[in-house]
């Protein structure tokens, strides 16, 4: 079985010679496999006549066509966006009193599933016409049957947290307190403000808030609304690990103490692991089709996703597994030191001060940077990058630096290809295409304008642009933001290989423990009081660094026996207490 998917935005029949039609073997034999719509002139592919040869895919100069072979078990879609449109198979099942997670790549139909569950979209099962009567008949006797009865009657109350919180200032003008008081139909606002530590921003204007502050506002606004079904789309973006854990515990309380149905999409696997009770895996072809599996236990589901093989469905979703180091990386004492920096400090009036201890950087290594938001991590890397000057101390780094900032803005209305050609001395070379562009899947973005890219696409372009510049030292501030699990693993591999292959040094600031664990040879731990003062410790080995960092968090991690991925121990559990007594917050003795 196969489906044909046409991207109508990319299909430009007036600018091509209609190669898809001319070269189709079935058209040449007289079949009407490909026609052109009388309404908009776009191609229309009859899937029942398509032989799956893939010639039209290769001949289309705009990359508008996908011919996708589907697993035999898939017969009728749950919903499809018209002929040659995206198809979704299966739905997640919200459970009252529990947190249900969705784990899968971007563009796989998670938002479509939520629209259906919220009652905003009626599933059509691949047909032109649909109705709630068909839906109720289809799901009669299943776990979703009673749920859709409530949704179809219009009495289902839904509260949603959007993925892109930076759009909130465009939708709402006024103070934080105005927005949250308006949303507070449950009376939980005071409790949420305290647990999310939002007192300082309640009287501030929404337009003046940072990304992390907007994320907390979005989470709070979703929680304080009285509803039957709650949906949170990526709670971790812009939040540090402290704030992520606070938000996760608050959402768990919403499900368990308030007995609500909660659905969460999250790409930070450590947070999803501690937050969700069950998880649905989503797989398929982004923008082509998506499949939602039946619910799995969180540990089993995440492990299957990491391995890339789903045994119950008997399908491989990835060529190779995502791998984690079993032991902390070696100290690298025999590796050549390429630069050293002295202690320095920086003050911003009476508002904030940073003190950084001196350290050294080794050839070909990746240094991880962890710590709370507001303790000076971005200030630290900007000083190293020469963007700002310290008040005291000499940085003295006589090297060229390439810097990717935390917040990326697409101000220039230029195409991706033009940007990369502008900054990349080696653009188009074999190494560049093989080790950077192809793994980051930039080839499909080359002809897109920067202003048209999604957050994840823009992040991948920014990573490539940073690594494209000729430099000695590469600094990447939060490269995981807006990337899904697959893309984070790929970005990690690209950065690591780039540093090793070219003898370059990279410094990565991130809050995703999985990414820091996979990418770092050594660690710089930040401490201090957010927005008041920060201390940047000297680089240390991974074991000592993570123990210091996690002891500040008062949480412990263990290794999953099957995949060796980090997992958060339940607070005050036997293993949690034992590791704290030993001082082993991250790596248990082996």
Distance of CA 391 to the CA centre of its chain: 36
Q: CB of 456 within 8 A of CB of 482? A: yes
Q: What's residue 432's pLDDT?
A: 81
Q: What's residue 287's pLDDT?
A: 87
pTM of the model: 0.84
Q: How far apart are CA 586 and CA 551, in angstroms?
A: 9
Q: How far apart are CA 571 and CA 174, in angstroms?
A: 39
Q: How far apart are CA 585 and CA 563, in angstroms?
A: 19
Q: What's residue 332's pLDDT?
A: 52
Bridge partners, residue 522, by sequence: 367, 541
Q: What's residue 590's pLDDT?
A: 45
Q: How far apart are CA 271 and CA 280, in angstroms?
A: 15
**pLDDT tens digits for range 211-225:** 888 999 999 999 999
Q: What's residue 588's pLDDT?
A: 53
Q: What's residue 324's pLDDT?
A: 78
Ranges in the chain, pLDDT < 70: 325-334, 396-398, 411-412, 425-428, 587-590
Query: What is the CA angle 83-87-90, rounded to 5?
Result: 145
Q: With the C-alpha atoms ordered 401, 542, 237, 191, is the resulting torsion angle positive or negative?
A: negative
């Amino acid at each position: 079985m196969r489906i044909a998917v046409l991207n109508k935005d990319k299909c430009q029949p007036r600018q091509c010679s209609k190669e898809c039609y001319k070269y189709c073997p079935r058209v040449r034999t007289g079949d009407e496999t490909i026609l052109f719509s009388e309404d908009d002139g776009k191609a229309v592919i009859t899937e029942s006549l398509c032989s799956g040869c893939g010639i039209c895919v290769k001949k289309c100069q705009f990359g508008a066509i996908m011919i996708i072979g589907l697993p035999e078990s898939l017969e009728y879609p749950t919903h499809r966006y018209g002929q040659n449109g995206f198809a979704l198979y299966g739905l997640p099942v919200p459970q009252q009193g529990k947190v249900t997670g969705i784990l899968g790549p971007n563009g796989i139909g998670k938002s479509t599933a939520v629209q259906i569950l919220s009652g905003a979209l009626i599933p059509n099962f691949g047909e032109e016409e649909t109705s709630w009567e068909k839906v109720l008949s289809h799901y009669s006797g299943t776990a979703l049957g009673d749920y859709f009865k409530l949704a179809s009657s219009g009495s289902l109350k839904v509260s949603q947290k959007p993925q892109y919180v930076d759009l909130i200032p465009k939708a709402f003008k006024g103070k934080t307190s105005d927005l949250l008081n308006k949303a507070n139909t449950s009376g939980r606002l005071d409790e949420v403000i305290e647990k999310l530590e939002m007192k300082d921003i309640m009287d501030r204007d929404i337009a003046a808030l940072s990304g992390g502050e907007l994320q907390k506002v979005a989470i709070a606004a979703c929680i304080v609304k009285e509803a039957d079904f709650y949906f949170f789309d990526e709670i971790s973006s812009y939040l540090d690990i402290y704030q992520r854990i606070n938000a996760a515990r608050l959402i768990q309380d919403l499900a368990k103490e308030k007995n609500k149905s909660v659905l969460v999409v999250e790409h930070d696997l450590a947070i999803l692991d501690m937050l969700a009770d069950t998880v649905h895996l989503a797989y398929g072809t982004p923008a082509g089709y998506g499949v939602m599996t039946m619910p799995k236990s969180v540990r089993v589901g995440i492990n299957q996703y990491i391995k890339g093989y789903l045994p119950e469905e008997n399908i491989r979703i990835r060529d190779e597994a995502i791998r984690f180091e079993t032991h902390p990386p070696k100290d690298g004492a025999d590796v050549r030191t390429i630069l050293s920096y002295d202690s320095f400090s920086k003050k911003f009036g009476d508002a904030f001060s940073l003190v950084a201890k001196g350290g050294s950087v080794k050839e070909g290594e990746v240094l991880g940077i962890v710590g709370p938001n507001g303790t000076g991590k971005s200030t630290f890397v900007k000083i190293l990058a020469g963007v700002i000057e310290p008040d005291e101390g000499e940085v003295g780094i006589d090297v060229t630096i390439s810097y990717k900032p935390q917040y990326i803005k697409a101000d220039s209305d230029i195409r991706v290809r033009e940007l990369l050609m502008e900054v990349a001395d080696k653009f188009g070379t074999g190494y560049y295409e093989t080790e950077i562009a192809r793994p980051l899947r930039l080839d499909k973005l080359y002809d897109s304008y920067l202003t048209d890219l999604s957050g994840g696409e823009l992040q991948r372009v920014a990573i490539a642009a940073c690594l494209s510049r000729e430099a000695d030292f590469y600094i990447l501030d939060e490269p995981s933001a807006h990337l899904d699990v697959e893309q984070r693993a790929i970005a990690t591999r690209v950065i690591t290989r780039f540093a090793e292959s070219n003898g370059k040094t990279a410094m990565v600031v991130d809050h995703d423990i999985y990414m820091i664990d996979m990418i770092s040879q050594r660690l710089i731990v930040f401490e201090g009081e957010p927005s008041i003062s920060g201390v940047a410790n000297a680089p240390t080995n991974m074991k000592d660094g993570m123990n210091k960092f996690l002891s500040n968090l008062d949480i412990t991690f263990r290794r999953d026996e099957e995949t060796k991925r980090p997992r958060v121990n339940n607070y005050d559990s036997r293993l949690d207490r034992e590791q704290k007594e030993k001082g082993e917050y991250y790596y248990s003795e082996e």
